[in-house]
């Protein structure tokens, strides 16, 4: 595990309230309380050029269904974020964050991508909406990421997924580093089966090797089982 990692994440969205539950609970909520992560939400409507209605979208040139996010609010939001460089009381980040646009047109997210992103000290996620953003905004975007070949109502849910995948890799968020190393997709195979108490449940026993106390045999069994699980469930991962 590398020591350099994300310590600040800014999210640009028109629905900041959607993030209050997922990003304030469980491991991420605890990590924020401990100061491991500086996570900031920005309402795109706060940067609208329309002071009265706070509109951030308009009809597409050339006609067609739907609306398009205007470039000016996004530009203003990014400019505001870049002007705020202090990540915390004792930490500082670089002058320029790495900007990610959550979009169905983006590269399909993998664990390897998450690991790469987790090694950047400052990230900005832009949640797409409607028919998308004005293409001229893409000049300030470093990467587009998709969480699957399907379309959601907006980029908020993908941003939550990406935030969870990336931030759990920050040192200290998950206490047991070994559990991350053994996660599915950390290598080209899935995780091995897991068992807990009771050792006998409804006529089904835990594999005897796991009760043997022989750590080398347990390690070998888990490695072999991981290969079997991968071949059965995700043979495409085996090269």
Selection from 101, 93, 98, 92 nearest residue 117 by Cα: 98
For 104, the enclosing helix (H) or strand (E) is: strand 98-108
Active site residue 119: no
Active site residue 131: yes
CA distance to 192, 210, 211, 226, 235, per residue, from 199 (Å): 18, 10, 9, 21, 30
Query: Measured in Å, how far apart are the chain's first and last C-alpha atoms?
Result: 25
Active site residue 22: no
Among the options 22, 71, 104, 121, which is catalytic? 104
CA distance to 45, 60, 78, 82, 134, per residue, from 96 (Å): 23, 31, 10, 6, 22
Among the options 113, 183, 191, 227, which is catalytic? 183
Task: Name beta bridge partners: 146.
Answer: 108
At a CB cut-off of 8 Å and minimum separation 6, what does 219 contact?
none
Active site residue 171: no
What distance in Å separates the CA atoms of residue 122 and residue 115, rounded to the nearest whole number? 14
**Is omega for the bond preceding 198 within 30 degrees of 0, making it cis?**
yes
Among the options 40, 168, 222, 234, which is catalytic? 168
Among the options 46, 72, 131, 164, which is catalytic? 131
Catalytic residues: 104, 131, 168, 183
């Amino acid at each position: 595990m590398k020591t350099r990692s994300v310590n600040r994440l800014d999210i640009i969205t028109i629905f900041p309230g959607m993030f209050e539950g997922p990003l304030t609970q469980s491991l991420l909520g605890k990590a924020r309380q401990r100061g491991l992560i500086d996570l900031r939400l920005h309402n795109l409507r706060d940067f609208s050029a329309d002071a009265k209605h706070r509109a951030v979208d308009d009809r597409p040139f050339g006609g067609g269904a739907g609306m398009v996010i205007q470039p000016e609010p996004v530009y203003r939001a990014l400019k505001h974020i870049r002007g705020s460089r202090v990540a915390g009381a004792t930490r500082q980040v670089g002058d320029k964050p790495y900007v990610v646009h959550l979009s169905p047109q983006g590269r399909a997210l993998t664990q390897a991508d998450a690991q790469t992103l987790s090694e950047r000290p400052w990230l900005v996620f832009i949640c797409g909406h409607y028919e998308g953003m004005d293409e001229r905004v893409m000049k300030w975007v470093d990467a587009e990421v998709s969480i699957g070949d399907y379309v959601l109502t907006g980029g908020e849910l993908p941003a939550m997924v990406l935030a969870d995948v990336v931030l759990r890799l920050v040192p200290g968020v998950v206490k047991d580093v070994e559990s991350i190393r053994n996660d599915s997709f950390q290598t080209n195979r899935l995780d091995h089966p897991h068992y807990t108490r009771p050792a006998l449940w409804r006529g089904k026993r835990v594999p005897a090797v796991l009760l043997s106390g022989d750590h080398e045999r347990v390690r070998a069994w888990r490695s072999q089982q991981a290969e079997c699980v991968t071949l059965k469930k995700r043979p495409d991962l085996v090269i």
